[in-house]
């Protein structure tokens, strides 16, 4: 499926991405859900956040919430594994049940179109390293049920601290199909 140009994309549901198993899915299958989109890595100081992400996913999935994990090897080469290794690590170490996607780039000319869109919607903190870029693994984007980006959180933000923001968004009405 062709990725839309930044100018034509209006929500995260306008994109598709490849899962760890190689299947490409349209993100519009998550239409009406609140999403937490996170760039992940298996060998990072923030890797234990997988447990918190999984806890959020399980706590709210029945209410219309999902975590989407996008492994990236762009920061300190902290995601060197194959798709099979990433999947096994996440399942065995953290019991991850939320969707994990194929390894992507989140910055630069080869950044996945979804991440170009996310960064354009929420540029992040102003600082020497950021300027809209993803600064490190486990940057988090929270989206409304409509697919619009509601907030961006730093890698240091613990997943559990997002519960209130998630609950607020889950109270919003579901958009019409």
**Residues carrying an active site annotation:** 44
Contact of 73 with 41, CB cutoff 8 Å? yes
User: Comparing C-alpha atoms, which of 64, 62, 59, 57 is closest to residue 96?
Assistant: 57
Distance from C-alpha of 7 to C-alpha of 124, rounded to nearest angstrom: 20
Q: How is residue 106 written in tokens?
A: 């989140």
Compute the half-sphere exposure of residue 55: CA atoms within 13 Å on the CB side of its CA: 11
71 three-class SS: strand
């Amino acid at each position: 499926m062709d990725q839309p140009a930044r100018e034509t994309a209006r929500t995260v549901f306008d994109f598709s991405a490849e899962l760890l198993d190689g299947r490409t899915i349209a993100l519009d299958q998550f239409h009406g859900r609140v999403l937490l989109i996170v760039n992940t890595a298996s060998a990072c100081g923030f890797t234990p956040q997988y447990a918190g992400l999984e806890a959020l996913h399980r706590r709210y999935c029945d209410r219309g919430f999902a975590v989407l994990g996008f492994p990236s090897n762009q920061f300190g080469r902290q995601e060197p594994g194959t798709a099979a290794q990433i999947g096994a690590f996440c399942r065995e170490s953290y019991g991850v049940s939320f969707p994990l996607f194929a390894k992507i780039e989140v910055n630069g000319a080869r950044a996945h179109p979804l991440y170009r869109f996310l960064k354009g919607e929420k540029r992040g903190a102003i600082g020497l390293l950021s300027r809209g870029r993803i600064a490190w693994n486990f940057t988090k984007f929270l989206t409304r049920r409509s697919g619009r980006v509601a907030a961006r959180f730093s890698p240091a933000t613990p997943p559990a601290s997002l519960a209130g923001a998630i609950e607020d968004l889950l109270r919003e009405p579901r958009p019409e199909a």
